[in-house]
Amino acid sequence: MGTFFKKNRVKAGEFLLFLSGTLVLVSLFMTSSHLYDGILIAKEHWFRYTSSLFGSATFLFFLFGKKRRPISFSTSDVFVLMGIGWSILTYNEVINPAPERMGLLIQLAAFWFFLRFSFTEYPRLRKAFLFILIVTAIIEVMIGMSQLYGINRSFNPNYRITGSFFNPGPFAGYIAVAFPLLLDFLLKQYNERKGTNRKYPFWFWGGVVSFALMLAVLPSTLSRSAWLAALIPSFLIIVYRLDWWKKWQEWRSESGSRSIWIVLGLPLILILFIASLYALKKDSA
């Protein structure tokens, strides 16, 4: 048994981390009618338990793994710590509206660094987790579409569409995270087959349909922050995957002074777009 574990500990580690990480990612579907505010509390409790399981698995293979790759401190780590630190510093301890918030923030920070270690030690887990995230977002979109067309009721009578959440904000935010990831996957597949006779597999067209559904659902949430969170990285992905920057430089060298008007006009269009978003729903995100 010991010899078998030594030979297969890498696969065992990947599987255990994948399984526990998947359990964390399905937290958004957890609800309970036996708890007060069961839509939120059930998700929070499930995340606490499953992220603890994921952390335990990560720590176990950190101790007994065959080899460990060096982990460098990245810019994203700084932003995560700054965000959590800001939340702690601005928390109103007098009113104390969420007594468990500090513990949850600490657990979120620990979960982030456990993820960082697992992605460094087992690089294939990154793609696997991103795939699960996209799949769960697609399921959320289907739930939202069923609410939007009256097939199922939302979890909040004040809103027509909430997904598996209590209001459209977190629902839109989750889709906004998966939206650019799915777009990047589709454009990568497009670039690999462009100019060749290779056919697109059926799951590619499933991704195209899912992307169209996300694009259709996001406006109905009226979440401006989610719109921006989806549009800005999606634009950068399009620029990168379709070589827009290179094409822009070639066009600028050929067009001369005409490109100056575009450079001056784009910020104006952006300002008007942001102002229109603010005017659409001033008292909400």
- Band (154; pLDDT cuts 50, 70, 90): confident
Work out the angle between the directed axes of helices 202-221 and 124-148 (0-180°, nearest 10): 50
Choose between 132 and 16: higher pLDDT: 132
Q: Is the pLDDT of residue 130 over 80?
A: yes
Count other Cβ atoms within 10 Å, centred on residue 268.
9
pLDDT in tens, 34-88: 666 677 788 888 888 888 888 888 887 777 665 666 677 778 888 888 888 887 7
Q: Is the pLDDT of residue 127 over 60?
A: yes
Q: How many residues does the chain have?
A: 285
The pLDDT score that the predictor gives to residue 268 is 67
The pLDDT score that the predictor gives to residue 226 is 84
Mean pLDDT of the chain: 79
Residues of the chain with pLDDT > 90, as a percent, come to 8
The pLDDT score that the predictor gives to residue 140 is 92
- Band (182; pLDDT cuts 50, 70, 90): very high
Measured CA to CA, the distance from residue 92 to residue 182 in angstroms comes to 38
The pLDDT score that the predictor gives to residue 281 is 58
Residues 205-217: what's their mean pLDDT? 89
pTM for the structure as a whole: 0.79
The pLDDT score that the predictor gives to residue 272 is 67
pLDDT in tens, 228-273: 888 888 888 988 887 777 766 666 666 655 656 566 666 666 666 6
